Amino acid sequence: MFNRCLLFISCILFAGLSLFSRADSLALHKKLQQAVTNEQKADALINLSKYYLTKDLDKAMELVNSAKAFSEKAKYEEGIANAFGIEGEINYLLSEYSLAKSNFIEALSHYDKNKQSNGMAEAYEGLGKVAYKTDELDAALTHYSEALTIFEKNNYKDGLAGLYINLGLLYEDTRNEPQAIEFYNKAMVLAKETNDIVSEASCYTNLGNIYSNQGNYKKAIEYLEISLELKRKVGNKKGEGTSLNNLGAIYYGMQDTNRALQHFQEAYQIYMEMGDKKSSFPSCNNIGSIYYDKKDYPKAKEYYDKAHELAIELNSLSKKILCLENLTLLHRDMGDYKKAVDYSVECWSLKDTLYNKDQAEITAEMQTKFASEKKQQENELLNLKVKSESFIKTIFIIAASILCVLVFFVFRGLKQKQKVNIALEEKNKIIEEQKQTVENQKHIVEEQNKDITDSIRYAERIQSAILPPEKQWQSLLPQSFVFYKPKDILSGDFYWIEQKGDLVFVAAADCTGHGVPGALISIVNYNLLNKAVLEKDLNDPADILNYVNNQLIVALHQTYQESSVKDGMDISLCVLNTKTLELNYAGANNPIYLIKDDELLQISADKFPVGAFVEEQIQTFTSKTIQLHRNDLVYLFSDGYADQFGGEKGKKFKYKQLKDILEENKQLPMEEQSAILADRFESWKGMLEQVDDVLIIGIRV
């Protein structure tokens, strides 16, 4: 019953926002009209932007930019700080976490200049929210603690309620539910005391979710219904939809399908009225599943079809697969086997689980051949060693025998001298023959080593041939460089570029290992990237990595329990729209660096490789979107540069030094930047061995 339904309990990460009524809006506009000085105008614009935070983020951003301009014109530090703080909230709500972090840091700097402690605490809280969203839980706790110290010292009740909620969420996420409940209850007391209905509703929502997870459905329903009423009271439509969905999920879990259906339908209606297609998809799908369970097939088909249309509009591969699975089962039970088969075929086409069996067989054959040649070489070397040891023992025995014979014949006299000379000649002949045997064996091994080396050199030419030629690279990205330095003849690192219309796809990849094994995996992954973009027509970097992830697991016959090959790939994948300069990024372990407005930013990757299982589940990658501007810099890289040992103490280079080099030389042409990176690498490495393949890609937009 549950496998077709997208059941979830939503938690609210408190953003410290206030909801205003229409009367408040009119009063705020009136105050702006009455403002005379630049400081007054800045304050009025800040308050108006807060009003639009829950209604129109574009309008809020427009207002906050105006407020910043008036504040800077008047050298009004408090206004500048407030503007950066609200801009951080806007970017946070837009999931632009890197930009939000930069905004909160700017706000903190300006608040610190004016010794505005409460403002500093609000900036610390903003940084904590960003860290929480980017899974940096230790950093989130540190920032929240800094904010808590200031708020409690100043007894700043308006800020404490929201902060207590965020601390509760953090402890809930780390499975410390008693501590989470304690902070939610502290927040609720303050919210009621200050008549902060928004915070009070959030407390009831989050406490209800904890009780639901604990199986205390009665108390969970009680708290969520209170939360629902409070959100209706302040007109928070999206929050109302969240509470309805949460209640529907609980009733569905209790197998009370009638109440579950009622709540899902109300949530779906709210989201559709708001035009929020992403939020409406789970509700729509859940409604279809409930009608399917009730065997009301016409109604089930109506909502499954709507959900399928939403999945197509959202261009979500996982949602489309879920819908096709549901439609397959539905049409099977309706007796429409032709449509059931059609949906099933389309579903399996998306999954593409039988991808290119020949590709996997060729890869396995290449690996077997290499292992066989390597084993043969080891056997030859072993035989040579054994024969060399035998030869030495023979020489020792012969020398000892000759010495004994000489001593014997000295005592026997000159009469036996002739016989001794003959014996020596015979022994010398034996030694010469054995020496010749050793030389022949050595020659055989050298020939085989040469054959293996020649094969690897030929493989190098093949690998080089698949990499993008410099002419193609420069035509697509004229202001860029590729610093590529394999550890061995063959490399596990590779770079990749493709173009479709206004989109340019760029990747820096690091396959497990280096040398021949790494090169084999790199060829497989290179082909999978081409297939994802050119054959499957995927444009979103997360969808591309998810496709490669699934196909690599199939190609290498991997399972969670055991596998013939447990190799994967760390990668940074960017899709740049050359017309709008919008950058979409997804990564497996490898982040990217951006230099915007003279500041180096790190865009973090998902913390697992392509071709990996975590707790028996194939992982799903996520995309991040960044708006770039002309002359912004983007850097993609593998871990080889930072992991190189060298310097006076033979330590790792590390990423901090890499960042310093990039920031110091950001104004230089890209070709000069590449040369500097190469010189610094060789200088650091010195006489030490290169430990890994090295790859850095730099792009000036």
Q: Where are the domains of the chain?
A: 1-154, 280-351, 357-464, 467-700
pLDDT at 401: 61
pLDDT at 55: 78
Q: Which phi-psi region, left, alpha or beta, contains residue 504 (left: φ > 0; alpha: ψ -120 to 50)?
A: beta
Rounded to the nearest 10 degrees, how much is the dihedral formed by the CA atoms of 72, 73, 74, 78? -10
pLDDT at 387 over 80: no
**SS3 state at 393:** helix
280-351: CATH topology is 1.25.40
Question: If you average pLDDT over each of 238-247, 566-575, 618-627, which comes out highest?
Answer: 618-627
Mean pLDDT of 627-656: 94
pLDDT at 615: 46
- Tens of pLDDT along 616-639? 567 799 999 999 999 999 999 999
pLDDT at 364 over 90: no
For residues 179 and 182, what is the distance between their CA atoms, to the nearest angstrom?
Answer: 5
- Tens of pLDDT along 114-133? 888 888 999 999 999 999 88
pLDDT at 646: 93
Mean pLDDT of 548-573: 70
Is domain 467-700 annotated with CATH 3.60.40.10? yes
Mean pLDDT of 274-296: 89
From 27-36, 255-264, 490-499, the region with the lowest mean pLDDT? 27-36
- E runs forming strands in 455-591: 480-485, 493-500, 503-511, 569-577, 582-588
pLDDT at 276 over 70: yes
For residues 355 and 377, what is the distance between their CA atoms, to the nearest angstrom?
Answer: 35
pLDDT at 96: 92
- Tens of pLDDT along 446-484? 666 565 565 566 556 666 767 898 888 999 999 999 999
- Tens of pLDDT along 537-546? 999 999 999 9
CATH topology match: 1-154 vs 467-700: no
1-154: CATH topology is 1.25.40
pLDDT at 371 over 70: no
From 51-60, 185-194, 271-280, 565-574, the region with the lowest mean pLDDT? 565-574
pLDDT at 560: 45
- Which has the higher per-residue pLDDT, 255 or 669? 669
pLDDT at 397: 61
pLDDT at 577: 96
Helix (DSSP H) and strand (DSSP E) numbers for the chain: 24, 14
- Backbone torsions φ then ψ of 667, nearest 5 degrees: -85, -15
For residues 30 and 25, what is the distance between their CA atoms, to the nearest angstrom?
Answer: 9
pLDDT at 679: 95
What contacts 624, CB < 8 A, 6 or more positions away?
Answer: 95, 97, 98, 584, 585, 586, 603
pLDDT at 613: 54
- Tens of pLDDT along 677-699? 999 999 999 999 999 899 999 99
pLDDT at 14: 53
Mean pLDDT of 403-429: 64
Token digits for 273? 């009225």
From 448-457, 527-536, 602-611, the region with the lowest mean pLDDT? 448-457
> Which of 466, 469, 527 has its CA nearest to residue 491?
466
User: pTM of the full predicted structure?
Assistant: 0.45
Mean of all residue pLDDT scores within the chain: 82
Mean pLDDT of 426-438: 65
pLDDT at 287 over 80: yes
Mean pLDDT of 158-173: 86
